[in-house]
Amino acid sequence: MDYGQEMNTDGENEPDRRCVDLIVLGISYRSIEADVKKCFEAFGELVFCEIKRDANGQSRGFGFIRFKNYESQLAVINKRHFIDGRHVDVKIPDSKTSAHEPECARKIFVARLPDNITPDDLRQYFSKYGAIKDVYIPKPARSFAFVTFHDSNVVRTLFGTHIILGCSVTVGPAEPKNKPSAIGDYPSSTFKRAKPDHSSLRTLTAYGASPAHSHYHQQYGQTPNTDMMHTFFQQYGATTTGSPKGPFSNAQQSYWGGTHEEAAAVWQQQQQHYR
DNA sequence: GTTGAGCGTT
């Protein structure tokens, strides 16, 4: 699914100036794609135009369009237009930001947080990177927090170490909510070779990281680093003090072996061990 | 064969 984003004709690769699919509401059941197209092409070139239909081909009265240039999108959005004698509304679809993209994609996990840091502190610090939707700090404090942005694109740029109020904190991707065992959500094709070695703590730790790795891959298309794994373990209260090389030394190689089921089992042991 | 808030079979 690619609508030509790489063309970069109008700065559309910049996070806030990208064209997205727009929902067109209130289309006449009699209208066809050409009618919708004709209406919106007056504002700029479309790369996509579609009316949603049921199994019988009957229009469902709404559809989606996408412009090539952001200026065009700006011109039509949240305005009322007329197609075939009916007014239609154009909006950013809700499905794009909620259902289609999980909330955790817009969320960072902040670890090693001093207990005296407030939500306002975090808001103030991270707002220089992008608009913030929510800041969550558990009560009582547990040395971590979640910061949710409006745009998922800033998230991946923040992974690593940050200094907030003189304290070094670690930022990593947030795991899916209510799913510490959401290992089944990750593509098992990622893990298909070796068997995990239950005899070594190092391997246990490495396997425990695989959901985070996989999640990272799926969400951000990059290979996670040691720092990020560190963050992941802290999320679950695991002891990660000491050299980063410590329990993480063979994380990479182990990550690529083993199955999700195995990783899940080992992860359970891992958590027991650290209690 | 009608209708009129909603959210996308790929």
A157-176: pLDDT as tens digits: 888 899 999 999 999 988 87
Residue A219 CA, nucleotide B2 C1', distance (Å): 45
Tens-place pLDDT, residues A191-210: 222 222 222 222 233 333 44
In angstroms, the CA of A62 and the C1' of B3 are apart by 14
CA–C1' distance A62–B6 (Å)?
8
pLDDT score of A56: 87
The answer to whether strand B lies under 7 Å from the CB of residue A87 is no
Verify if strand B has an atom below 7 Å from the CB of A94. yes
> Reduced to 3 states, what is the DSSP secondary structure of residue A87?
strand
Q: What is the mean pLDDT of chain A?
A: 68
Q: How far apart are CA A17 and CA A186, in angstroms?
A: 31
pLDDT tens digits, A224-273: 555 555 555 444 444 333 323 323 322 322 232 333 444 444 444 444 33
User: What pTM value is reported for the model?
Assistant: 0.42
Domains and CATH numbers, chain A: 22-91 (3.30.70.330), 103-173 (3.30.70.330)
Query: pLDDT tens digits, residue range A42-57?
Result: 999 999 999 999 988 8
Radius of gyration of chain A from Cα atoms?
23
Identify nearest nucleotide to residue A66 by CA to C1′ distance. Answer: B8
What pLDDT score does A6 carry?
Answer: 40
Under 8 Å between Cβ of A206 and A229:
no
